[in-house]
Amino acid sequence: MKNLFLFIFMLLSINSFTQDKLDIKIDKGIQLYENGKKEKAFKIWKKVEKKSNKPSSTYGTALGNILWYYIENNDEENFLNYYKKIINSSLNEKDRNYEIGQPSKYMTKIS
């Protein structure tokens, strides 16, 4: 029983560690974006989207940043796909970004 508890604790710790690493990648993407390396930032955010837990703030932030990238590039088809992805996701209200704006680490909640 003790070994089972230890195993479950380790699994939860690894998941938390992975999410933290993905948050660091989002920050790196934002730095690249702000320095004009938008394509590299976009690629990082796409990787974060694939690796993050779906109903997490990390996932919501990645989706919002990808959405903004498509808006800036006048890619209407992908913009609409990502907008629908955000609306139809299981993200809670604080993790959804209904405001359109620059890529950011923290999503704002609309009152």
What is the average pLDDT value for the chain, to the nearest integer? 77
pLDDT confidence of 109, banded at 50, 70, 90?
Answer: very low
pLDDT single digits (tens) 5-54: 655 655 554 445 467 788 899 999 999 999 999 999 999 999 999 998 88
Give the separation between CA 98 and CA 109, rounded to whole angstroms: 8
Domains in the chain, number: 1
CATH number assigned to the domain comprising residue 22? 1.25.40
pLDDT confidence of 106, banded at 50, 70, 90?
Answer: very low
The CA–CA distances, whole Å, from 11 to 24, 50, 54, 71, 86 equal 20, 19, 17, 38, 28
Residue 110 in domain: no
Range of the domain at 31: 2-95
Residue 109 in domain: no
Residue 89 in domain: yes
Sign of CA dihedral 94, 96, 99, 105: positive
Residue 107 in domain: no
Model's pTM, two decimal places? 0.70
What amino acid occupies position 95?
A: D
